[in-house]
Amino acid sequence: MLATTDSATSDLEYHKAIKNSGWKSRIIPTFRPDSVIDLNTENWKKNIKELSKVSGIDIHNYETFIKALRQRRQFFKSMGAVSTDMAILTPWTEELTKTEIGNIFQRALKEKLTDEDTSGFTAHMIMEMAGMSIEDGLVMQLHCGCYRNHNQEIYERLGPDKGCDISVQTEFTKNLRNLLNKYGNDSRLTLVVFTLDESTYSRELAPLAGHYPALKLGAPWWFHDSINGMMRFREQVTETAGLYNTTGFVDDTRAFFSIPARHDLSRRVDANWLAGLVAKHIVDMTEAGEMIKDTAYRLAKKNL
């Protein structure tokens, strides 16, 4: 299975073409609402107008905005989507009052925002997306702690998302507490967290995933899906979180032709890790044989 990430405003025309062609291969969309949730996004108001157009809902306040997002999520599900994906610098979560969030949305429409408005809106929307995932069953993915477009010269010459993405220090225990206290014990939610900040693996992410039923840990991401990066992830996470609170290897790349090699590398690294457990008599060969099937295939299928 291959999944694309698609803006909330996308009409998914290419997915429609695949569906109508009768081709049996499974290529599905993923709901990516960043362009309408991040108030710092360039052309945010234009994106809201586009969201109004594709949803058929006149967005003039926060309530109609949420109604449009729900409509789009259902449309994505009808096209085969199984998950959502959000990229955020800081995974701060907070539930604002109806008045507070409504006022921020109106200030955004009037282009009179403060930095506090934009961060508060994102924190609230992460909570909203979790609630919607419980309603519609879409897996919720968060990619956290990445400073995008760090090299200004490359950004100015080639535009956004051309690499130059650098890890930043990320805190999860306090930032996710509001979300996990409201939804983390609900078995209907699957929340998958990815990060570049390896220092959080054993200190925060593994204990959180080991405790909250809804939270799963995504595979090492981007330049951390290296041999050493993968081994560090297994060694720092698995003892506390357990293998079954991770998602197996879910690839995330624009380098289309690298995908088979990356999955092959992941299987080899996990096989080497499991062989070490067998050699130390922590698990036996039968158990390791089942565990490698889980890391390579079954965990990803179950969680995504």
276 part of a folded domain: no
Banded pLDDT at 107 (limits 50, 70, 90)? very high
For every residue of 200-233, DSSP letters joined together read GIIIIIHHHHHH-TTEEEPPP-GGG-SHHHHHHH
- Answer whether residue 224 shows pLDDT above 70: no
By mean pLDDT, which of 35-44, 89-98, 118-127, 161-170 is the weakest? 161-170
Average of per-residue pLDDT across 237-245: 95
pLDDT digits (tens, 9 = 90+) for 141-165: 999 988 888 999 999 999 887 778 8
Query: Which distant-in-sequence residues (6+ apart) come within 8 Å of 251 by Cβ?
Result: 219, 225, 259, 262, 263
CATH number at residue 56: 3.20.20.140
Question: Domain range for residue 226?
Answer: 2-259
Tens digit of pLDDT for each residue in 207-216? 999 999 999 9
CA–CA gap between residue 264 and residue 268 (Å, rounded): 6
Residue 277 lies in a domain: no
Residue 25 lies in a domain: yes
pLDDT tens figures, 270-289: 999 999 999 999 999 999 99
Alpha helices in the chain (DSSP H): 13-21, 34-37, 44-55, 62-78, 98-109, 115-136, 152-158, 177-183, 206-211, 227-241, 259-279, 285-293, 299-303
* Contact yes or no for 304/247 (Cβ under 8 A): yes
Is 281 part of any domain? Answer: no
- Residue 21 CA to residue 263 CA, distance in Å, equals 28
Identify the three-state secondary structure at position 84. strand
How far does Cα 11 stand from its chain's mean position?
Answer: 21
Confidence at residue 239, expressed as pLDDT on a 0 to 100 scale: 92
| Number of domains, the chain | 1
Which pLDDT belongs to residue 196? 86
Residue listed under structure tokens 């009409």: 11
274 belongs to a structural domain: no
Distance from C-alpha of 1 to C-alpha of 151, rounded to nearest angstrom? 33
The span from the CA of 14 to the CA of 16, in Å, is: 5
Give yes or no for residue 105 having a pLDDT over 80.
yes
- State the Cα–Cα distance between residues 73 and 81, nearest whole angstrom: 9
Q: Which has the higher per-residue pLDDT, 41 or 255?
A: 41
Q: Which of 27, 35, 124 is nearest to 85 (CA)?
A: 35
Lowest mean pLDDT across 3-17, 39-53, 247-261: 247-261
pLDDT in tens, 168-180: 999 999 999 999 9
pLDDT band, residue 254 (cuts 50/70/90) = confident
pLDDT of residue 10: 97
Residues 6+ apart with CB under 8 A from 275: 288
**What pLDDT sits at residue 262?**
87
Q: Residue 223's pLDDT band (boundaries 50, 70, 90)? A: low
Q: Which residues have CB under 8 Å from 237's CB, separation 6+? A: 201, 202, 205, 206, 209, 217, 246
Q: Is residue 228 part of a domain?
A: yes
Quickly state the pLDDT bin for 221 (edges 50, 70, 90): low
At residue 257, the pLDDT reads 87
In whole angstroms, give the CA distance from residue 190 to residue 141.
8
Task: Judge whether 301 lies within some domain.
Answer: no
Computed over every residue of the chain, the mean pLDDT equals: 94
How many Å apart are CA 297 and CA 292, to the nearest integer? 8
Q: For residue 191, with 0-12 CB atoms within 10 Å meaning exposed, 13-18 middle and 19 or more buried, which class applies?
A: buried
Average pLDDT over residues 7-29: 94
Q: Where is average pLDDT lowest: 6-20, 125-139, 160-174?
A: 160-174
